[in-house]
Amino acid sequence: MIIDDVFLDGAASQQRTGVHLAGLEVLWVGVQCAPEVAAARERARGDRPTGMAAGQATAVHRGVVYDLVVDSGTASPDECAGLIAERMV
C-alpha cells in the first residue's frame, strides 16, 4: 500500500498517521526538493496559491523521521521510484 500525504504539521502529522498504521511494516519516504524548484513547479501548474510551495518545501518535513529521502529536484521520477523500490526488497 502506498500513501501519499503532505504533513502540514510535520512531526505531529507523522505521529497521527503512524497511529493508523500500527502493526504494519512502514517505509517512511520523504520526497523533497529545493524551495525554488517547488516554486517553479507551482507556477507551471497555475492552480495553486503563489508562495505556498516554497513555504511548505521545508516546513512539512520539520521533525519528520524518514527511512529514506529522495530529491525530486535532482532525480527523475523513475530514479526516485528506483531508490524506493531498492529499499523495499
- Listed by start position, the domains of the chain span 26-87
pLDDT at 82: 97
**Mean pLDDT to the nearest integer, 12-40:** 95
pLDDT at 46: 87
Lookup: cell for 61: 518535513
pLDDT at 68: 97
Whole-number percent of the chain with pLDDT over 70: 100
**Mean pLDDT to the nearest integer, 40-66:** 91
Nearest partner of 61 among 85, 83, 31, judged by Cα:
31
Residue 69 has pLDDT above 90, yes or no: yes
Q: Which are the contacts of 44, defined by CB distance < 8 A and separation ≥ 6?
A: none
Lookup: cell for 89: 526488497
Residue 55 has pLDDT above 90, yes or no: no
